[in-house]
Each structure stands twice: as C-alpha cells, then as structure tokens.
Amino acid sequence: MANYLEQKLVKVPRASYIYRVVHRVMEGDCQCEHGPIPVTVGPLQADVYPVTNHMYWLFMQESGYRPADDTNFLKHWVDGKYLEGDADKPVTNIDQNDARAYAAHYGKRLPKDFEWQYLAAGPDALKWPWGDKLDLSKGNFYTDALSRVDAYPQGVSPVGCMDMCGNSWEMVEDTHDDGCHFFTLLRGGCYYRAHHYWHAEGGPQPNDAHLKMHLLAPGMDRNATVGFRCVKDCDGEEL
Amino acid sequence: MITHNREKQTFILENNSVRAVLCYQNGLRMQEFSNLHSGRVSNTDRELLTFTFMGGQYTSADLSVCGAYAAQDNTREMATVLLENRDLQLSMRLHLISDKKDTVTVLLQVKDLYREKVPYELFIHSPFLAAMQMTGAGDKYYYPAGAVQNREGKQLLKLAKESFMNSDIKPPLVVTDAEDQYGFSVRFPSLADLSDDGAVQNRNMSLSTIASAEELHEHSLPINPDATYADTIELEITGLTDGWPEAFRRYRAQWEAPYDFREYDKPDLKWFSEKFLHNFTFLYGTEGFDPVKKKIDVEKLLAEGDEFGGFDTVTVWNQYPRLGIDRRSQWQFFDDFPGGRPAIRQAVEEFHRHGVQVFMPYIPWDAGSHESTDSLGDEFAKLLADTDADGYQLDTLSAIPESFREKCNAVRPGLVMTTQSHPTKKRPMEIITTSWDEFWATRPMPQVDILRYLLPRHIAPVISRWYRKEDKDLLIQYSQFSAVPMVIWQDIFGRWMPFCAEQRQTIKGWKAVYMAHRLTYQCADPIPFWPTRADDVYCNRFAADDGSETIYSFYNDTDSDYTGPLCRADGASCEIILGSGEADIQNGLLSGRLPARTVVHVRVQ
C-alpha cells in the first residue's frame, strides 16, 4: 500500500498583530475590513499542509459526506476517487461548505482571513511565507498543474505551515454578506495565471493580499485551483 | 467660373456660394474669400502660408513661382500655382478647386528632396486659415474639437474617444456672423486611419484637433513630406446661408456618404429602437438573482424596474470580474451557472413573456489561445441559440468579425449587438448598431454626444457606472437634454449603488414622455446646439420626419430663471412636455421662461 502524506499540526501560541490587507483593486472591490486593526490569533493548532485529495477521500469514506448539490464536486476525480498521481496534491473543486464539512468532521474549522495571514506571515509580518522578497524557487508558481503540497519545503512559513503561496488558492472561513452579495476571500494565489490583465490575477500572492470571490452556487463556487487548510481551536495548555 | 489674369497674376474662382481671389505675384495671397450670399467681401489680403524649415522661417514669398495654370472638367475648376525654393530643395503646389456649386478647396502639396539627405522637420502655418472670418465683428466660431463651450470654456460637444486609431468623426471649423446665418464651413478631409503623426503627409487630422481661438490662431502643423507631391493640407470651404445647423447637416451628409447602413435598415433589428430603459444586472447580487432558489429572479428584477417605468431589456452579467480564478472560460460559466444553459433559457423565456429582451455578455479578452475566430464565432452563436437571448453586450469590443454577425444571423433574425463604447471606425459602425454612451463624466451639463446627432439610428443609451447621487441627477438631465435612452446599472460588479426614489420617479416620467414622442426624438435630422437667443441657454432640436411636430430641448445653465426670447422656430402653437416653465411662439420666435439648471422640452406644431 502506498504511503500517503499525513496531515500534521503546528502549534500557534496566542499572538497579536496589526492586520492589514492590501491588494490590487479592479472593479468591484471587496466590502470588508482591511485594517489596519489590532487582532489576536490563537492559541490554535494549524494544518501544516493544505488538505490533499487523499485526505479528503479518507474523510468521505469515514463520514459518507455527499453535498446536496454535487455540481462540479471533485470533478477531477474519476469513479469516486482521485487519480493516483494526485493523492498528495491539494484537493480542489470543493466549495466552502465541502471544506467546512471536512473540518467539522475532525473537530476543526477553516481559518479566518486574519488568522490565515498570521499563519503565512508570522510574528514579523513577512511579505511572503519565507521572507520579504519574492523568490520563485519557493513554490509552485506559473506552471501548468498543481504540485504535491510538500514539494516546496523551502517555502515554509514562520509558524511551520507549508505550501501557503502559489500551488492552490485557499478558502478562508469568512463569508461576507453585504446585504445583497455573498462572497468569500481567497489566499496565497495559485500556480495558474490567466492570460489577460482583466482576469482575476493568479500566480503567487503576498501574505497580506486576498482575492474576493463572489459566491453564487456550488457549481460556480467550486474551482479547480481552490483548496483549503484547517485550524483547530485549543487552550494554551494543549500547546 | 474661373478666370486667370496672367498680367495681374491672379486667379478668380466663383461658384454659387463662394468667391476666391488668389494673387501669386509675390508669394501666395488670398485677396478675397467671400460668401456671395452675404453680399460682403470677406477675408481680404491674407498671406496663405508660412513655414519653418531647417532653422529658418519663411513666407510664401520665399518661394519662386515657376508655373501657374487653370484647368477644368465637367465637375470642377482648378487653379494651380507651382512654387519652389531651390536652396531648400523644397517644392509646393497650391490648388484652388471649385466644385462649381458651393465649395472651394484649398489644397497644398509639398515635396521635399532632402537637401541634407535626411528628412528635416517642416512646420506649416496658414495665416489665411488662422484669420478666417465672416464679418470680422461678433462672428461665432465652432471649432472642430470644441464646437460649443460653456462660459468656463468647457467643451460641450463630445467627440469620439481616440487612441492610436483615428476616429472617423472630424467635424469642420465653422465661422458665422453674429446671427448664425452667413458663414463658412471649413472641413479638413482625412482618411488617415492612424493618429500616428509620422505615418502620413496629410496633416488634416491635426487641424481637426483645434479646439479654441488660440489653437486656430497659432496652429503650426508638423508635416512629413517626401519626394512626391502628396496631399498635405486641405481646406474644403463652403459658403453657408443657415449657419451652424447647415454646417452640421452638411457634415453629417459628408460623413455618412460612404457608409453602408443596411444593417440599420433591417426590420428585425429595429426593436431595439423601441426600447428606452435598459437594465444591467450583476448576477452575483440579489437584484436579479435569488440566492436561496439559485435562479434568476425575473419577477423581482422587473418589479424593481417598475419603479423606473419598466425595464425594456436586461443584460445578465455572470462573468467579469469572476473570470480567471481557474481555467473555466466564459462559455463554461454559462454551463456552470445554476441549472446551466436550460435555466438561463427558462429565465429568458420568462423575460420574453413580460416583453423584455435579454442581452448576454461577451468578454473579448477571455478568448484563449486554443480558440480561433471560427470557434469563438460558433460559441458566440450557439449561446444565443441555447438561451434564446436577443443579442450581446460586447463589453470592450469595438469591432466584431463579420463571421460572428453571420453566424448569429443563421440562429434567428432579430439579434442585436451592442457594445460598451461607441465604435469609431466605418465597418464596426456599420454592423454594431447600438452601443453605450459612456464617457465616464457627467460634468459639465449640458454636454452632448456628437454621434447621437450624426447617426441617430445608432441608439446609444447613457449609463451610470460609479456615479453617486449628484452625478446620477446630472445623468438624468443628460438623458433628457439629448433625448437618449438609459441603462440602469445599480450593482457595479458587487458594489450596490442604487438610484434614489426621487430619481426613479423622474426617470419614470421621462420615459413616458420619450415613448410618447419617440419617433420625433429619433428623427433623421436632429441638430445639436440649435442657435439660441440667450447666452447660457442651450438647445437641441428634434424635428419629426413627417413634419408633425418639432421638439426643442432647452437647458438653462444659470442659477436663475431665464425669461425672454429662446430661438427661431417654425410653428403656430407650443406646449411644454417635459419640465416646467412657460413657452410662447410668435412670428417664428420661440420665447418663454426656463427654470434654472433644468431641462425643458417644448413641443412646437
């Protein structure tokens, strides 16, 4: 039996920092808090890796989870399972509720936007998980396909999270309702960059950037480039 | 009639409207350029040209005349003077060409033999053009790129936006007497497609950018001659008897002459002209989408429209700015929309049951390298076939391949193309029969869009994108002043920016007036900035093609009521059909009271 990557948790002690998000603004900027505001993160435990196809498959075996609307749900899988070479790549083609179901099954949740930023930037508010300068050797950037989530250990963040930049976008817990729209935020960028300036900008995204993603329905909300990771609340003693 | 007096070295050209007397005794001097209808002698003793070349400044007297002759054929009479300066290795040909009707063209051609073996800069100025006048006292000027200005000098007649591509819309310079009756129209013919000023000799497109007296007086054209006589500067001067309205009508006729407007004549596309209120709805918002039922909420959107007087069309927008997160194309977005294309078709059918037509979005920049013009055209047509929608909003596309249109024609008749900005070139203008009037600024009132008057069949509703309350107020006035339909766009890609209740009510009332007089507003001969008898009072004129009525749209651009004469008008009775105030007509003069900063429409019969 093949060895598949297992999820690990890193401990994140309680910490405060000044949360501020800056990003390219096209039309339809995101109506939510961008700081700067003081926030407190943790104590919590965070997934070292984005959830992989294999991890998600295990979850489905254990829980029997099936979404009510399965349009585009895991559409890259064949006959109910991922292709063998994709086992340790981030699971994609899932929406926020699919991700939440996974997290809840393991007593976890998705990180909030300000938490995700801390997991990537650490106490020194790094611009990129590995430091303050863009380094294209640190992740899966501008390529043709997703990579394993452990393919770029040199891109590890200060708190010990892997694969936080490029490869796959990560959903956060936040769902914003401004009274007439629902949207969530994506973090970290992805390997894929669409070909035109007017497209949503892919490629590696700095730690203090997010991308607004309008929510419509599961079929639209499931993307081939968007995955997630989880965090687990805990008290200080568990750390 | 053309006369060549070799002894006096003078040419006289005279037709039904214009008399031109050119003397080439010592350089080139226009001894007279008159409008015969006026009975006046105008533009006397004017130097025709000066130039700057290789560090020196010259007049036409610095050129030797080496020939002069007259010629004529069935339609034209021509006087030609040949000039040269051997030291400069520069030659010129000056032609005066009469069309034997009402126009005399001044055409200058320049040849540069490159004395230093490389091309040097050459700037030409025409004192004759710079000082063009009708009476010399109280003349009115309409500059090509700034025909009408308010008292702050802001341009009110908006031209097409230009980029590297030259717009085909180049209005003339018009100068009239104070009564806006006799005058001259000076057109600058140019077929240069590019605004790149090094590519062509013909510099008339630069003359078309003159927007003020200062620019007219001080023009200095960088021309690009080579070793052939190519058209360099051309002034097509017509004598006017009816001032600006005549000049505008003449320009419209000249501009549209080479166009093929068969697409506009198609009966199946005319439904768009019968619409006034166009809605643009962003489907990621609740304005037109039910997030619980996951479907387009036709009833809710149309109920919203009722507050404005009823949406006549809707554009359902489901792509930008969402495209690009993954590889899904715009075509897949329709498949992945809740319920897929059948659900969209169901919504379209529901809209149709309410008499509302539906536009689908097309995003030109989403086309991937795997897509060809042919495959895109197939998708383009297939979407309309799949959804039964009535046409496309083409986004930033200013031209579409002919095959797109042809493939849509094969789907069914009646499919209309509209686009975000006006097409500016001939062929796109011929096949894209509507567009948005989006100039991104509402101030100052009362601006007008020249295309609305040049090609009134190209219905171009005005839109509000990021406009806030104050700008939306102005947008409504803009719509009223030029009598143009509106796009109601309140969800700007995720930011909700609604019209207020009062604005909705105003639009509702305006729509009722527009629809009651639609054929008059859509007449073939609308005139922008019909001459008025009062400063700061502006007027557009819409005369019904069947002669049944004429509507004068006024705007009083002051902070107080205006009472007094308004403009000349033909008719026996008048009434105010939009706005408030008073109106009276006697002896061909319309008078009345106009409230401050409002639009008033007066109907004259």
- Which pLDDT tens digit goes with each residue over B409-468? 999 999 999 999 999 889 999 999 999 999 888 899 999 999 999 999 999 999 989 999
Q: Locate the chain B residue with the closest alpha carbon to A183.
A: B284
CB B369 within 8 A of CB A195: yes
Q: Which residue type is seen at B148?
A: V
Which pairing describes strands B495-496 and B562-568: parallel, antiparallel, or unpaired? unpaired
The secondary structure of residue B121, as a DSSP letter, is: P
Hey, how many other C-beta atoms are within 10 angstroms of the C-beta on B228? Answer: 10
**Using a CB-CB distance cutoff of 8 angstroms, which residues of chain B are in contact with residue A73?**
none
For residue B224, the Cα-to-chain-centroid distance in whole angstroms is 28
Contact A216 B492 (CB under 8 A): no
Contact B322 A198 (CB under 8 A): no
Rounded to two decimals, the ipTM of the complex is: 0.96
Q: Can you give the pLDDT at residue B368?
A: 86
Per residue in B548-559, pLDDT (tens digit) is 999 999 999 999
Q: Which residue has the tokens 């897949």?
A: B332
**Using a CB-CB distance cutoff of 8 angstroms, which residues of chain A are in contact with residue B328?**
223-224
Contact B283 A215 (CB under 8 A): no
Whether A226 contacts chain B with CB within 8 A: yes
Question: In which element (H, E) is residue B477 found?
Answer: helix B469-482
Per residue in B124-156, pLDDT (tens digit) is 999 999 999 999 999 999 999 999 999 999 999
Q: Can you give the pLDDT at residue B164?
A: 65
Cα A22 from Cα B550, distance rounded (Å): 56
Q: Can you give the pLDDT at residue B598?
A: 96
Contact B338 A219 (CB under 8 A): yes
**CA distances from residue B359 to B16, B172, B494 in whole angstroms, order as listed:** 51, 37, 19
pLDDT band at B593 (very low <50, low <70, confident <90, very high): very high
Per residue in B269-288, pLDDT (tens digit) is 999 999 999 999 999 999 99
Mean pLDDT across chain A: 96
Task: Output B200 or A82, whichever has higher pLDDT.
Answer: A82
pTM, 2 dp: 0.95
Does residue B199 carry a pLDDT above 70? no
Task: Give the class (CATH, top level) of A9-23+35-238.
Answer: alpha beta
pLDDT band at B193 (very low <50, low <70, confident <90, very high): confident
Q: Can you give the pLDDT at residue B441?
A: 85
Q: Can you give the pLDDT at residue A1?
A: 55
pLDDT band at B369 (very low <50, low <70, confident <90, very high): confident
**Using a CB-CB distance cutoff of 8 angstroms, which residues of chain A are in contact with residue B368?**
195
**Using a CB-CB distance cutoff of 8 angstroms, which residues of chain B are in contact with residue A30?**
494
**Using a CB-CB distance cutoff of 8 angstroms, which residues of chain B are in contact with residue A28?**
321, 492-495
Across the range B166-194, mean pLDDT stands at 91
Cα B282 from Cα B317, distance rounded (Å): 5
Q: Which residue type is seen at B595?
A: P
Across the range B185-210, mean pLDDT stands at 80
**How wide is the angle at C-alpha B284 spanned by C-alphas B283 and B286, nearest 5°?**
80
Whether A216 contacts chain B with CB within 8 A: yes
Q: Can you give the pLDDT at residue B409?
A: 96
- Residues β-bridged to residue B47: B29
Contact B321 A71 (CB under 8 A): no
Contact B286 A223 (CB under 8 A): no
Please, how many CA atoms are within 13 Å of residue B201, restricted to the half-sphere of its CB? Answer: 17
Does residue A237 carry a pLDDT above 70? no
Whether A217 contacts chain B with CB within 8 A: yes
Does residue A129 carry a pLDDT above 70? yes
Mean pLDDT across chain B: 95
Q: Which residue has the tokens 């909300």?
A: A221
Cα B341 from Cα B335, distance rounded (Å): 6
Across the range A232-237, mean pLDDT stands at 83
Does residue B163 carry a pLDDT above 80? no
Per residue in B312-362, pLDDT (tens digit) is 999 999 999 999 999 999 999 999 999 999 999 999 999 999 999 999 999
The secondary structure of residue B366, as a DSSP letter, is: G
Q: Closest partner residue to A198 among B287, B291, B365, by Cβ? A: B365
Residue B565, SS3 per DSSP: strand
φ, ψ at B335 (rounded to 5°)? -65, -40
Whether A169 contacts chain B with CB within 8 A: yes
Across the range B248-273, mean pLDDT stands at 97
Q: Please state, for a pLDDT cut of 90, what percent of chain A lies above it.
A: 93
Whether A192 contacts chain B with CB within 8 A: yes
Q: Please state, for a pLDDT cut of 70, what percent of chain A lies above it.
A: 97
CB A190 within 8 A of CB A168: yes
Q: Locate the chain A residue with the closest alpha carbon to B288.
A: A180
Q: Can you give the pLDDT at residue B224?
A: 86
Q: Where are the beta strands (DSSP E) in chain A?
A: 9-12, 15-19, 37-41, 44-47, 169-171, 176-177, 182-187, 189-190, 203-204, 210-214, 226-227, 231-233
Which of B87, B89, B85 is closest to B117 using CA atoms? B89
DSSP notation for B170-232: -PPEEEE-TTS-SEEEEE------B--TTS-S--HHHHTT--SHHHHHT--EEE---SS-EEE
Handedness of CA B577, B583, B584, B588 (dihedral sign): negative
Does residue A108 carry a pLDDT above 60? yes
Q: Can you give the pLDDT at residue A236?
A: 67
Per residue in B31-50, pLDDT (tens digit) is 999 999 999 999 999 999 99
**Using a CB-CB distance cutoff of 8 angstroms, which residues of chain B are in contact with residue A26?**
321
**Using a CB-CB distance cutoff of 8 angstroms, which residues of chain B are in contact with residue A181?**
284-286, 491, 494, 496
Whether B8 contacts chain A with CB within 8 A: no
Hey, how many other C-beta atoms are within 10 angstroms of the C-beta on B469? Answer: 12
Whether A24 contacts chain B with CB within 8 A: no
Whether A176 contacts chain B with CB within 8 A: no
Hey, how many other C-beta atoms are within 10 angstroms of the C-beta on B115? Answer: 15
